[in-house]
């Protein structure tokens, strides 16, 4: 009987397991292996041990000054981390929108749909629109700004504005999206009686938020935060490719774009795999830290 | 003393008023870009997209570059009047052209017969001429313009978008008599142009085919595996499931390079296999459907098993029909995800006939940077199917997201 179930289960699982092994598990292991080689895809791969890791993470003292061997990597890692700061902002906006939408209002579904539009259409089509909106010479933003006498910057071509501009676009697109929908579900799970009791005790709206809504939503917030961070480390490819080509001067290159360039533009397969493996470790460690320190503080209601 | 005591209903009214104001403000910020996109996509190519006083399309006299019949008319007229040879401006245009193109257009014009291919070529050829900046600065061309018009050309350096449009207009006005220009308000032809340019219709077909295959395949493989995880007891079930969950954390770029190499070894690069097969297996889909199956009541299944149904019949006749909401949710998520997927198709497709819509669109925008009307038409074509699927299946979609999250 048990044996029979094993066979049945195997048959059910086989298509998915096959894909899982060939397109996920094996590639993960292969990426580790590949990171030990130098390979331009056209010639035979050459085993070089940990050299790629030294090149990526190592440093030298030249003229008595500290220098990374690959300063680009650290810069692009910095860019990626910079984008992560959009997450708390975007989450706060999502929560606020969700609380407002959670009231008994007319047209709730309509507004939810409208807020969700950017998430649905977030893609090449929408990025092209933003490229136009942000254009320094004939973009809509600078045109509107010029009407009130402000000479707007080249949003995507100015070194200091490029990252915040892309961040702003991410927040615009993300605040009414998945996070808001999950928050809405979380809010609906909070028992009404809690608020009624608080109201009898004379608690105002802010107090109710601090002592009921926020603590009761902690697991939801934690879930959104963890998944957003994982996704955040892999963000920015489409925006870099379509809007800025990673520029100006690498200001908007994220690790994903850097890996893509090394692998499929310069054909440094081994080096690209090395960056990918390091990215994997970063995501893994950050997620572990999140679970360890965030997971414990969360109050599961 | 002066403390204002608000009644409960009064307070609620104020909160609601604030809420509506806020929702409408945010809603407008969300919708305006889409609205602008739609409006721009039906404007004339020579209209100024920045002119917010004329936000809505207005009637513009122009030679509709896309109207093939019109172009042949123009050429007939020019040919008959020998203007092609007499007008020095046109002669200059003629000599500025690529010799190859010259030969082609020349043979078409002198033959006086136009096949479909010839017409297409005439259109693209003439468009290039009209967009050729050097040509506008040419003295002989400038000679056909009025003095104040000429001033615009000589004074604007570098040519901005606005001047470009203005000059284009002027040259059209100067070179072509009004009766062969056509009045248009809504330029739906922009969409036709987009379809015809750079294999766009092919890219659309590719996108539909690839997306449908991935959606059907992913729902099928995920539901099979999810059923096993949710209902069958087998060796190391929970360990295997944990393994699945763990891979949700692996960045896509880690597996991307080895998968590319595997496909290259198989000779699958630039084929539908490469576009469809790797995204067919989804750990997330399996996870989501497992959660859904676990929430189904077991009673019907047990009855079916007592009646002698085997696991496959239970899966096919009991579980799947009961799971329509869950399956729909996954299907919609997958459809939208693969419709807009960019990085993977970019890596594995290398030719026009394999590009999906996002790739075709991104190439188009890098070549035709100033053609905003066409770019917006292309973007609308890309976004529309996703919106449609979302609006039809919104309920399932939202529930699906909440299911994946809340039970996680």
The whole-angstrom distance between B250's CA and the closest CA on chain A is: 6
The better pLDDT of the pair B49, B393 is held by: B393
State the nearest Cα–Cα gap between A68 and chain B, in angstroms.
23
pLDDT at position A137? 76
pLDDT band at residue B130 using 50, 70 and 90 as cut-offs: low
Measured between CA atoms, how close is B338 to chain A, in angstroms? 11
- pLDDT reported for residue B367: 75
**Is B247 close to A182, i.e. CB distance below 8 A?**
no
Contact status of A132 with chain B (Cβ, < 8 Å):
yes
User: Which residues does B251 contact at the CB level (< 8 Å), separation at least 6?
Assistant: A233, A234, A256, A276, A279, A280, A283
- The band of B248, judged by pLDDT with boundaries at 50, 70 and 90, is confident
Residue-level pLDDT at B123: 52
Are residues B255 and A220, on separate chains, in Cβ contact within 8 Å? no
Helical axes B116-131 vs B68-80, angle rounded to 10°: 80
Mean pLDDT of B159-180: 54
Contacts of B150 (CB under 8 A, 6+ apart): B142
Distance CA B260, CA A216 (A): 45
Whole-number Å distance between alpha carbons of B237 and A6: 10
Does the structure show a pLDDT above 80 at B80?
no
* Spatial contact of B49 and B373, defined as CB atoms under 8 Å apart: yes
Give the DSSP H or E segment for A46. Answer: strand A46-47
Confidence of residue B127 (pLDDT cuts 50, 70, 90): low
* Contact state of B386 with A279 under an 8 Å Cβ cutoff: no
Q: Which of residues 2 through 61 in chain A touch B, CB cutoff 8 A?
A: 2, 5-6, 8-10, 12-13, 15-20, 22-28, 30-31, 34, 41
10-residue stretch averages of pLDDT, chain A, 301 residues long:
77 88 91 92 87 89 84 93 94 94 86 88 86 81 83 87 92 89 88 88 86 89 89 89 87 93 91 94 90 65 36
**Within 10 A of A103 (CB to CB), how many other CB atoms are there?**
11
Q: Is the pTM of this model over 0.80?
A: no
User: Hey, what are B405's tokens?
Assistant: 């999250």
Contact B254 A143 (CB under 8 A): no
CA dihedral B353, B358, B360, B365 (to 10 degrees): 180
Question: Which pLDDT band, with edges at 50, 70 and 90, does B85 fall under?
Answer: very low
Query: Which of B253, B346, B375 is closest, CB to CB, to A259?
Result: B253
Torsion of the alpha carbons at B79, B85, B86 and B88, rounded to the nearest 10: 130
A111 lies within 8 A of chain B by CB: yes
Interface residue A129 vs chain B (CB under 8 A): yes
Cis peptide leading into residue B158 (ω within 30°): yes
Q: Which residues of A touch B391 (CB under 8 A)?
A: 113
Contact between B378 and A128 using a beta-carbon 8 Å cutoff? yes
Distance from CA of A9 to the nearest CA of B (A): 5
Does residue B346 sit in helix, strand or coil? helix
CA distance B47 to chain A (A): 13
Tell me the C-alpha distance between A86 and A81, whole Å.
10
**Alpha-carbon span A106 to A166, nearest angstrom:** 33
User: Which of A128-142, B55-69, B109-123, B336-350 shows the highest mean pLDDT?
Assistant: B336-350
Mutation for A interface: B52, B54, B250, most A CBs within 10 A: B250
Across the range B27-33, mean pLDDT stands at 90
Length of chain A as a residue count: 301
Is the Cβ pair A181, B34 closer than 8 Å?
A: no
B22 touching chain A per CB within 8 A: yes
Peptide bond into A248 cis (omega under 30): yes
What is the model's pLDDT at position B352? 83
Cβ contact (<8 Å) for B255 and A17? no
Interchain CB contact of B337 with A (< 8 Å): no
B222/A contact by beta carbon, under 8 A: yes
Nearest to A20 among B228, B254, B281 (CB): B281
Round to whole Å and give the CA distance between A46 and A216: 55
Residue of higher predicted confidence among B74 and B346: B346
* Residue predicted with more confidence, B67 or B355: B355
How close B175 comes to chain A (CA, Å)? 28
Interface subset of A 191-230, CB within 8 angstroms of B: 205, 220, 223-224, 227, 230
Chain B contact for A285 (CB, 8 A cutoff): no
How far is the C-alpha of B73 from the C-alpha of B79, rounded, in Å?
10
**Cβ contact, residue pair B23, A100, below 8 Å:** yes
* CB-based contact B234 A283, cutoff 8 Å: no
Q: Establish if B405 touches chain A: CB-CB under 8 angstroms.
A: yes
Predicted local distance difference test score (pLDDT) of residue A105: 83
CB distance from A298 to chain B under 8 Å? no
User: CA dist B125 to A96, A270, B128, B371, Å?
Assistant: 54, 45, 5, 16
Across the range B308-331, mean pLDDT stands at: 87
* pLDDT range class, residue B3, cuts 50, 70, 90: low
Are A124 and B227 in contact (CB < 8 Å)?
no
What does the pLDDT read at residue B145?
A: 59
Instruction: Tell whether the model's pLDDT for residue B54 goes beyond 80.
Output: no
Cβ-based contacts under 8 A for chains A and B: 262
Shortest Cα distance from A120 to chain B (angstroms)? 7
Q: Over the stretch B339-377, which tens digit does the pLDDT of each residue have?
A: 989 999 999 998 888 999 999 888 888 877 667 788 888
A-facing residues of B in 317-336 (CB < 8 A) are 336
As given in the structure block, the two tokens for residue A223 are 């879930």
Q: How far is residue B309's CA from residue B183's CA, in Å, rounded to a whole number?
A: 69
Quote the pLDDT of residue A269. 92
């Amino acid at each position: 009987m048990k044996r029979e179930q094993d066979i049945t289960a195997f048959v059910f699982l086989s298509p998915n397991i096959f894909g899982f092994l060939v397109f996920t598990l094996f590639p993960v292991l292969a990426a580790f292996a590949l990171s030990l080689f130098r390979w331009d895809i056209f010639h035979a791969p050459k085993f070089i041990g940990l050299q790629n890791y030294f090149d990526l993470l190592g440093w030298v003292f030249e003229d008595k000054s500290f220098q990374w061997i690959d300063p680009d990597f650290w810069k692009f890692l910095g860019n990626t981390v910079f984008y992560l700061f959009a997450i708390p902002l975007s989450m706060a906006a999502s929560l606020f929108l969700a609380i407002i939408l959670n009231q008994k209002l007319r047209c709730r579904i309509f507004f939810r749909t409208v807020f969700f539009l950017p998430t649905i259409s977030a893609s090449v089509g929408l990025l092209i629109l933003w490229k136009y909106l942000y254009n320094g010479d004939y973009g809509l933003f600078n045109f509107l700004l010029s009407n009130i006498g402000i000479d707007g910057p080249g949003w995507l071509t100015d070194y200091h504005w490029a990252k915040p501009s892309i961040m702003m676009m991410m927040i615009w697109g993300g605040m009414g999206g998945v996070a808001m929908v999950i928050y809405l579900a979380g809010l609906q799970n909070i028992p009404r009686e809690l608020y009624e009791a608080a109201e009898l005790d004379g608690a105002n709206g802010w107090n109710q938020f601090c002592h009921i809504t926020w603590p009761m939503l902690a697991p939801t917030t934690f879930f959104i935060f963890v998944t957003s961070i994982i996704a955040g480390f892999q963000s920015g490819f489409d925006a870099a490719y379509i809007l800025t080509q990673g520029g100006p001067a690498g200001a908007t290159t994220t690790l994903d774009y850097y890996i893509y360039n090394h692998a499929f533009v310069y054909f440094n397969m081994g080096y690209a795999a090395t960056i990918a493996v390091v990215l994997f470790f970063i995501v893994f460690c950050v997620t572990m830290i999140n679970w360890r320190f965030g997971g414990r503080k969360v109050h599961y209601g | 003393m002066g403390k204002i005591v608000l009644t409960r209903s009064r307070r609620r009214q104020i909160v609601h008023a604030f809420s509506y104001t806020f929702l409408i403000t945010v809603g407008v910020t969300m919708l305006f870009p889409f609205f602008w996109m739609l409006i721009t996509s039906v404007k004339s190519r020579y209209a100024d997209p920045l002119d917010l006083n004329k936000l809505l399309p207005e009637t513009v006299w122009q030679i509709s570059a896309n109207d093939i019949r019109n172009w042949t008319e123009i050429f007939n007229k020019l040919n008959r009047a020998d203007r092609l040879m007499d007008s020095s401006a046109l002669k200059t245009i003629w000599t500025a052209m690529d010799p190859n193109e010259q030969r082609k257009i020349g043979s078409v014009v002198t033959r006086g017969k136009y096949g479909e291919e010839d017409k297409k070529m005439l259109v693209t050829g003439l468009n290039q001429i009209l967009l050729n900046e050097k040509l506008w600065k040419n003295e002989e061309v400038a000679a056909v313009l009025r003095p104040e018009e000429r001033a615009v050309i000589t004074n604007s350096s570098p040519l901005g978008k606005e001047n470009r449009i203005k000059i284009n207009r002027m040259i059209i006005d100067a070179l072509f008599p009004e009766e062969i220009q056509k009045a248009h308000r809504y330029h739906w032809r922009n969409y036709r142009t987009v379809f015809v340019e750079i294999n766009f219709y092919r890219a659309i077909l590719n996108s539909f085919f690839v997306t449908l295959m991935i959606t059907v395949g992913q729902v099928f493989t995920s539901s099979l595996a999810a059923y096993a995880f949710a209902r069958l007891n087998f060796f190391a079930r929970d360990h295997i499931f944990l393994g699945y969950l763990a891979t949700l954390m692996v960045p896509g770029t880690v597996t991307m390079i080895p998968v590319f190499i595997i496909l290259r070894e198989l000779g699958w690069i630039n084929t539908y296999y490469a576009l469809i097969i790797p995204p067919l297996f989804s750990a997330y889909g399996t996870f989501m459907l497992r959660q859904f199956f676990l929430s189904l009541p077991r009673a019907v299944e047990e009855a079916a098993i007592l009646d002698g149904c085997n696991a496959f019949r239970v899966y096919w006749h009991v579980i799947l029909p009961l799971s329509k909401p869950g399956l729909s949710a996954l299907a919609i998520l997958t459809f939208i995800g693969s419709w807009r997927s960019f990085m993977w198709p970019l890596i594995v497709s290398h030719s026009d006939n394999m590009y999906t819509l996002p790739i075709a669109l991104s190439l188009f925008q890098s070549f035709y940077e100033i053609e905003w009307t066409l770019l917006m038409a292309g973007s609308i074509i890309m976004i529309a199917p996703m919106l449609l699927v979302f609006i039809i299946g919104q309920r399932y979609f939202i529930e699906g997201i909440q299911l994946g999250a809340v039970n996680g």
